[in-house]
Amino acid sequence: MVNFDVVQLSRLQFALTALYHFLFVPLTLGLSVLLGIMETVYVMTGREIWREMTKFWGLLFGINVAMGVATGITMEFQFGTNWAYYSHYVGDVFGVPLAIEGLMAFFLEGAFIGLFFFGWDRLSKAKHLLVTWLVALGANLSALWILVANGWMQSPVGSFFNFQTMRMEVSNFYLVLFNPVAQAKFVHTISAGYVTGSIFVLSVSAYYLLRKKYVHLAKRSITVAAAFGLASALSVVVLGDESGYLTNLNQKMKIAAMEGMWETEPAPAAINVIGFPDQKNHVTRGTIQIPYLLGIIATRSLNTEVMGINDLVKITKDKIKNGMVAYSALETLKKDPTNLSAQSNLKNHEAELGYALLLKRYTDNVNGASPEQIDKAAWDTVPAVATLFWSFRVMVACGLFFILLFAIAFFLSYRQQLERRWFLWMAFLSLPLPWLAAELGWIVAEMGRQPWVIEGMLPTFLGNSSHDAHSLYISIAGFVLLYTLLAVVEVYLMVKYIRLGPDYLTTGE
């Protein structure tokens, strides 16, 4: 039996709740916009079939939102219960976008969801349409502020370390909000959500056509999902390229690990299509490469090398040594806050202070760390290479498949040949794939920045609360049982109302 320590258990609990919560987020994002599109067509044309479509897909949207809210709230509480020092250290920065998300987005979405369901016969067409789009706006704003917070964790701009309070503080909120990493993550994530919503509508509609039920609703739904989904899937690819470029600027180790690239790749850098990373021996075997592609994605050039893991570890050793200077200065300032020399040393090496904290895993005497301890701390900055390597490739493969699927759906819709059974089965069986791609995307993003909870500033193992392992085992077991129950309820309700179909909204049977 594997024995996990408190940090590992805290990470496991947050990962389980985050991955489970993210089962609902993409569908909420995608369906909210699709509802807006469908109701817009209804208001413009006055055809009742589009009203029926909006209400039917809206029912499934409501079930999903309810589960998403129930699972999302527990995540935010974990910042206090499981990551108390992290919350203390960066709460002045990280807490701001989370607070705005609650005030601006969550309340907006929550208030108008009620009007969406109960306002059909109480509001005019135009007013109800406005409500529907405000629900979509609230869902997307919620994603924006969450990803602003997460983007800051990946690239902590617009902030500084205050040695007097021993906390990170905001120096420029504009930089926090318009952090390029956060903005790229936002548009990439919501586009992936739009793909998820489109695949969901496509798959359920294909199920109806296979059963020759609700044909008019299903065909129109496929047409909307195909057009919106194709645009979204193409956006995911373009925006993923932007994310790759920004990642190489800010998190070079993540790129190297995703590529299983141990040695620096000379320009023009080739990308590994396939390979078998061996982290123990620092080698990736059996690689098949595409020339130039990594250079284009990661550096936007053909004359810039892409650094490998071994060279990045060497650079990290130097950062640790510089960080030790900052750590020594900080120790001096704790005793004498007016020491100008220590203030200067801290300011000059503040960016490397977090690297010195990596030594805390091996010694309490950071300034007296041995070369062996520095070497171990430097190698700790290498994440799980094989996990990142394969997660990224499966995610990309799913993305390329989505483009093909939507293109076929769009073509067959245009030719009025949607009854092709091979296509309908292809669409129906594709239902789980967007969730697989979304979960793998989060694994790449979050595991790729380990060992940092705040990139380059705060190691993960220093951010957790003081718990005993037994308490965490109990809470994890509780979450697994509760979330499994919620998953069963979600699937049961979704399947039930999909089988009942849109007739249930008029007959109640």
The amino acid at 449: R
Give domain status of residue 285, yes or no. yes
Are both 54 and 150 inside the same structural domain? yes
Are both 316 and 237 inside the same structural domain? no
Q: What is the number of other CB atoms lying within 10 angstroms of the CB of residue 331?
A: 12
The range of the structural domain enclosing residue 379 comes to 260-383
Whose CA is closest to 348, among 376, 328, 371?
328
Are both 359 and 394 inside the same structural domain? no
Give domain status of residue 460, yes or no. no
Give domain status of residue 2, yes or no. no
Q: Is 70's pLDDT higher than 80?
A: no
CA distances from 190 to 185, 187, 435 (A): 8, 5, 13
User: How many domains in the chain?
Assistant: 2
CA atoms of 308 and 73, how far apart (whole Å): 39
CA atoms of 369 and 123, how far apart (whole Å): 69
Q: In the chain, what percentage of residues exceed pLDDT 90?
A: 64
Domain end among 358, 383, 408: 383
Are both 14 and 126 inside the same structural domain? yes
Are both 356 and 305 inside the same structural domain? yes
Are both 223 and 165 inside the same structural domain? yes
Domain end among 383, 398, 427: 383
CA atoms of 294 and 278, how far apart (whole Å): 21
Structure tokens at 304: 């810039």
Are both 136 and 27 inside the same structural domain? yes
Are both 442 and 394 inside the same structural domain? yes
Give domain status of residue 136, yes or no. yes
Q: What is the CA radius of gyration of the chain?
A: 25
Instruction: State the average pLDDT over residues 158-181.
Output: 91
Indicate the burial class of 492 (C-beta count within 10 angstroms; 0-12, 13-18, 19 or more): exposed
Cis geometry, peptide bond prior to residue 432 (ω within 30 degrees of 0): no
Give domain status of residue 455, yes or no. no
Give domain status of residue 1, yes or no. no
Instruction: State the average pLDDT over residues 154-159.
Output: 92
Which of the two residues, 209 and 1, has the higher pLDDT score?
Answer: 209
Segment 310-353, tens digit of pLDDT: 999 999 999 999 999 999 999 999 899 899 999 999 999 999 99
Give domain status of residue 458, yes or no. no
Give domain status of residue 265, yes or no. yes
Are both 77 and 130 inside the same structural domain? yes
Segment 356-402, tens digit of pLDDT: 999 999 999 999 999 999 999 999 999 999 999 999 999 999 999 99
